[in-house]
Structure 1
Amino acid sequence: MTHQFGLRVYYEDTDLAGIVYYANYLKFIERGRSEWVRSLGMDQARLKAETGIVFAVRRVEADYLRPARYDDELVVETRLAGSSAARIVLDQAVTRGGEVLFLAQVVLVCIAADGRPARIPAELRRKLAPAAL
């Protein structure tokens, strides 16, 4: 199951050469992850308020394949690659018209308010199980 999130490249996203500045891809995939979680019916603000649990990026492996440019319409694709008791692994891609521009694998960890590892709440684990199919 792949979640898709569309966005447009704005002038502020580009560098002097008129292409998307490399760090902005991380912002794009963050938005895609947030919308993926929302599509699962999870409210991250409520989760934090009620349990103190949040998700943090532990690791990102990124591959920049082709440049995106000002005014391009992009799609961020997010797919669950795996999960364990306290972490989620996602494969993400940024595409333009079906052409892959950027690939990333992102490892998220679940942490408690004190910064220590925490188990992913059972409600979210149940929602992740169908997403892995």
Structure 2
Amino acid sequence: MTHRFSLRVYYEDTDLAGIVYYANYLKFIERARSEWVRSIGIDQARMKAEDNTVFVVRRVEADYLRSALFDDVLVVDTSVFLATPARLVLDQIVRRKEEKLFVARVTLVAVGAGGRAVRLPAELRRIVPAGG
């Protein structure tokens, strides 16, 4: 299952040349992941309040392929690469129309009280079965 998230590049996202500043791609894919989690029915605020559990990024592998520019409309595709009881690995692609601009593989884990790793929430494990 692939989730699609659209966004527009604003002036604040760019450098002096009107090119998206490299770190902002991480913000774009973070927004897309948050919307993906919401779309599958996971309420992160409730998860934190009731279970004191939050998702954190453990690893990001990223390739910058082409530049996005001021006022571009971008789409971020998010799909599950691998799911285990302890981690979730997502592939994320930022596109302008069909042109790939940025690709990332992001590993998420869940942490509980004191920042200790815990199993992914049962609700998520039911929705996203183990495997790749």
TM exceeding 0.5 = yes
1:19 aligns with 2:34: no
1:117 aligned partner, one-letter code: A
Aligned-pair CA distance for 1:129: 2.3
Shift of 1:6: 0.2
Secondary structure of the 2:6 match is: strand
Q: Map 1:41-60 to 2 at 5 A.
A: 41-60=41-60
Q: CA deviation at 1:123?
A: 1.2
In structure 2, how many angstroms separate the alpha carbons of the residues matched to 1:120 and 1:40? 14
Q: Secondary structure at the match of 2:115?
A: coil
Task: Return 5+ residue gaps in structure 2 as ranges.
Answer: none
Distance apart, 1:86 and its partner CA: 1.4
Could you say which residue in structure 2 is the equivalent of 1:119?
Answer: 119
Q: TM-score, normalised by structure 1?
A: 0.96
After superposition, give the CA deviation of every residue in 1:56-97 in whole Å (9 maximum; x if it has no partner).
Answer: 000000000000000000001100001111111000000001
Equivalent residue number for residue 64 of structure 2: 64
Q: Deviations over 1:71-128 (max 9, x none)?
A: 0000011000011111110000000011100000000111112111101121110011
For 1:1-133, what aligned pairs fall within 5 Å after superposition? Answer: 1-129=1-129
Q: 2: CA distance between counterparts of 1:75 and 1:7?
A: 6
Runs (4+) of structure 1 moved beyond 2 Å? none
In the alignment, the residues of structure 1 paired with residue 70 and residue 113 of structure 2 have an alpha-carbon distance, to the nearest angstrom, of 39
Listed as ranges, the gaps of 5+ residues in structure 1 are: none
Q: Distance in 1 between matches of 2:122 and 2:59?
A: 23
**TM-score normalised over the length of structure 2:** 0.96
Distance (Å, rounded) in 1 between the aligned partners of 2:18 and 2:127: 40
The answer on whether the counterparts of 1:54 and 1:113 sit within 8 Å (CA) in structure 2 is: no
Partner Cα separation in structure 2 for residue 4 and residue 71 of structure 1? 19
Q: Percent identity?
A: 67
2:83–2:129 contact (8 Å) kept in structure 1: no
Give me the whole-angstrom Cα distance separating, in 2, the residues matched to 1:86 and 1:53.
Answer: 13
Q: Distance in 2 between matches of 1:80 and 1:47?
A: 20
